[in-house]
Structure 1
Amino acid sequence: MPVPVPELGSYNFVQETKEDLDWADLVTIDLGLFGTPEGKKQLAATLVKAVREDGFFYVKNFNISQEHVNRQFSLGKQFYDIPLEEKLKYVPEGLDNGAFNGYVPGGRRILEPVSGLRDRTEVYNIPKFNGDFEHQHPDIVQSNLPEIEQFARSLHTEVLDPLHVLLAIALELPEDYFTNIHKYDIKSEDHLRYMKYSKYTPEENLKLNGLWGRGHTDLGSFTLLFRQPVAALQIKNHVTGEWKWVKPQDGTLTVNTCDALSFLTGGYVKSTVHRVAVPPKDQQHVDRLGLLYFSRPHNDVPLATIQDSPVLQRAGATQNEFEASGNPVPTMEEWTFAKQKWQRAKNIVRGDTSHATAQILPGWNEKVYA
């Protein structure tokens, strides 16, 4: 007889906003077409448009049931329901030096200096299950680790591997080019994240000038963001500099390309600046719970521009910032911890960089990747 599935409780999503926001017009990658050479070719062409123009896109038909997604949201909610003193037991050592696996409490950044309002963003990161990382978690997470591991691994096989294949096809590289540097069983700083943005009062939101978080790029390859209906994510257009809202779409993942892919492609793939804004008024009364996965190349991969791609050669994308400046090219591990440490310092006071280094590493362009 089948083993009964343990009850995690329900997770009730709030209603979508009825406000008419300035939504970004993003393309959708339908992985239901991935099974044929013709489908792959079509999807690769669509992906090029997404990674060149917006850096954000939707993915649908990725073969993971909504039930499994909802259970992860439920786990995240139950984690944040436990007392703060219990969560604080799982703060990583070396947090200010770039460590990030475990619990990162809110209140570490001053968002509005006059009033002293601090961020209310909490993060819980769960690293890979490949033997390279210790897993010590509170009971609600520990007791469900097998299911969490299965979910995390399925994101590789059902979402990330196909996206890496499509990107390789788009760049006229062997299909396994990117999957070979993103293998689950080799050490990298991938992690699954439960993320909570606790609400502010209407008066506090006015003081925050419409923003809960500053613009930034992600440092890895792809970030997967599961659909939840509280509108807050905004992206910055590469051409106009305008900020657009990202609309939650039923049955999809929102995916963005990140720093590592931009470095590896000499800037051909865009790492898009994005931020978290104050939600519209009809959603400001609730907390915002996020479920994300951050994919990164193996730790020992140098972030040098790929020289074997005919597409990059034709586009003149043959150097990234490090190579153009004559500075050493970092590995993925070096980039990860340098940027994490820099962000920890810079985010103490939003917009104040006087206490932080102007650059993470020699040759790094802060204006692009902040």
Structure 2
Amino acid sequence: MPGKLDWLDVSDLYLHPLPDSVPVAEIKTISVKGLLENVEEETERLFQACKNQGVFLLDLTDHDVGKKYLTEMVETVRIATHIFQSHTLEEKRTYPTRARVGIMDKGYIAEEITPEGDVKSHEVLNIPNYELFTPGAPPLALPPWLSPHESLFRNVLVSGNRIAHAILGSLESQLKMPEGTLTSAHRLEDPSNDFLRLVRHPGFGAREEGERVSFHAHRDLSSLGLLLAPLPGLQVEHPSEPGVFKWVKPEPGTIVVNVGEGLQLLTNGVLKGVLHRVVRVPGDLTAVDRVSALVVVRAKGDMPMLPLPSPLVPRLSEEQKKRLVETSDEWAANKLRALTAIRAKEGKMLPRELAFVYREEGMPVPVGI
């Protein structure tokens, strides 16, 4: 794949390459054309990447479906950059999150606000699938500063779901599952808390040495994450060295695809959810804002999170059989409760997590959280 695209100008996004001095993760690059056309060699490479690492680069440049999605994601990152820079914190907070416990699929969230009102850690805008695609759902009431982009957001989610189905369909085949086992559980119109997330990790405004984590290590509470992050910052855990993280090198024409904990559960550990984090690149890149777009694909909300039928998927152990069977929505909400409790014990709760606790207790969230 050429380093510079001859059909799409991305030079304004890929301005700061990863320094040569940092350790880079060895990640497979998979062809979207090979998956869409069901090429056995490519689907096998995909399967091995999802089994062994839980992450891969997806080359979108060799098929029109991929090119369309890449074009939409590139435009989304540009729009996100403009939105984050041109609107005040007060304006962005006019797009509220849902008043519930569960996946944050809608609204604006800012973590760690300085006394001057600047975002210190990261800020996100979530665009939900539910209001856009689920029959009978209410209209998506975006604020005026966000609503002009609704059509693009819709297109990104539609294209992202098609790409996800190409991946899931290939995995079905490799796992020798009945056709539709995975894809039918990830339909665009089914309530699932899928979303498009726009993320900004602000630069410090000055050069700084040393790595600083700006989003803690975690596995996604999803099946797949489709990420376009033109600037360095993402790290993934080495598959054979627990606790050792290496940098993912941004490559024009590709997106990063993460396997989430959802697929790990549905295959009883055959596919691996990747542990990953976001770190500020030391040196000159410390001062640079990092903006990305992420499409999150989850199993439908009422799906039991149990291993799916496959000769390659181990049966539940006796210990596993004793556990309460949770739906996709219940599993995600319970995981969030558990993670919040751990961070509370460590004294590391973020404002969003404090609000989560207040809502759990049925109490009004204090102003400023």
Pick the aligned partner of 2:255 from 253, 256, 259.
253
Q: Distance in 1 between matches of 2:310 and 2:178?
A: 9
Q: 1:93 offset after TM fit, Å?
A: 4.2
Q: Which residue in the other structure is 2:216 paired with?
A: 214
Count of residues in Structure 1 that have an aligned counterpart in Structure 2: 327
| Cα distance, 1:35–1:302 mapped onto 2, change above 3 Å | closer
Q: 1:249 offset after TM fit, Å?
A: 1.1
Asked if residue 332 in structure 1 is aligned to residue 328 in structure 2, the reply is yes
| Cα distance, 1:350–1:155 mapped onto 2, change above 3 Å | farther
Asked if residue 88 in structure 1 is aligned to residue 93 in structure 2, the reply is yes
- 337-346 vs 265-274, greater mean Cα deviation: 337-346
Aligned-partner residue type, residue 34 of structure 2: L
Note if contact 1:98-1:341 (Cα within 8 Å) is conserved in structure 2. no
| Cα distance, 1:344–1:78 mapped onto 2, change above 3 Å | farther
Q: Distance in 1 between matches of 2:341 and 2:36?
A: 45
Which runs of structure 2 are paired with 1:1-370 in the superposition (5 Å)? 12-37=13-38, 39=39, 41-61=40-60, 62-64=66-68, 66-80=70-84, 81-94=86-99, 99-107=104-112, 119-128=120-129, 129-131=132-134, 132=137, 134-157=139-162, 159-200=163-204, 210-228=212-230, 230-241=231-242, 242-306=244-308, 308-312=309-313, 317-319=314-316, 324=320, 326-344=322-340, 346-347=342-343, 352=348
Q: Distance in 2 between matches of 1:66 and 1:193?
A: 16
Q: What secondary structure sits across from 2:179 in the alignment? A: coil
Per-residue CA distance 1:278-310 (angstroms, 9 max, x = gap):
21313112111011010001000000012x211
Q: Return 5+ residue gaps in structure 2 as ranges.
A: 1-10, 61-65, 355-369
Q: 1:90 offset after TM fit, Å?
A: 1.5
Q: 1:168 offset after TM fit, Å?
A: 0.1
Q: Which residue in the other structure is 1:360 paired with?
A: none
Note if contact 1:130-1:185 (Cα within 8 Å) is conserved in structure 2. yes
Note if contact 1:78-1:140 (Cα within 8 Å) is conserved in structure 2. no
- 71-80 vs 212-221, greater mean Cα deviation: 71-80
Per-residue CA distance 1:81-110 (angstroms, 9 max, x = gap):
21111111222243676544110112179x
Aligned-partner residue type, residue 56 of structure 2: F
| Cα distance, 1:66–1:183 mapped onto 2, change above 3 Å | closer
Q: Distance in 2 between matches of 1:70 and 1:108?
A: 28
Note if contact 2:207-2:284 (Cα within 8 Å) is conserved in structure 1. no
Q: 1:221 offset after TM fit, Å?
A: 0.2
Q: 1:77 offset after TM fit, Å?
A: 1.5
Percent identity over the alignment is 24
Note if contact 1:199-1:286 (Cα within 8 Å) is conserved in structure 2. yes
| Cα distance, 1:220–1:119 mapped onto 2, change above 3 Å | same
Q: 1:338 offset after TM fit, Å?
A: 2.3
Q: Distance in 2 between matches of 1:238 and 1:327?
A: 28
| Cα distance, 1:232–1:36 mapped onto 2, change above 3 Å | closer
Q: What secondary structure sits across from 1:256 in the alignment? A: strand
Q: Which has the higher strand share?
A: 2
Q: 1:155 offset after TM fit, Å?
A: 1.1
Scaled by the length of structure 2, what TM-score is found? 0.80
Q: Distance in 2 between matches of 1:350 and 1:145?
A: 39
Q: Which residue in the other structure is 1:3 paired with?
A: none
Q: Which residue in the other structure is 1:5 paired with?
A: none
| Cα distance, 1:347–1:17 mapped onto 2, change above 3 Å | same
Q: Which residue in the other structure is 1:112 paired with?
A: none
Q: Distance in 2 between matches of 1:279 and 1:123?
A: 20
Aligned-partner residue type, residue 303 of structure 1: M
Per-residue CA distance 1:231-284 (angstroms, 9 max, x = gap):
111111232112111111110010010111011111111111111112131311
Q: Distance in 2 between matches of 1:99 and 1:150?
A: 21
Per-residue CA distance 1:44-71 (angstroms, 9 max, x = gap):
2111211111111011132325442222
Note if contact 1:99-1:340 (Cα within 8 Å) is conserved in structure 2. no
Per-residue CA distance 1:153-204 (angstroms, 9 max, x = gap):
01112x1110010110110112322111111111111000100101226687
Q: Distance in 1 between matches of 2:72 and 2:159?
A: 11
Q: Distance in 2 between matches of 1:323 and 1:150?
A: 43
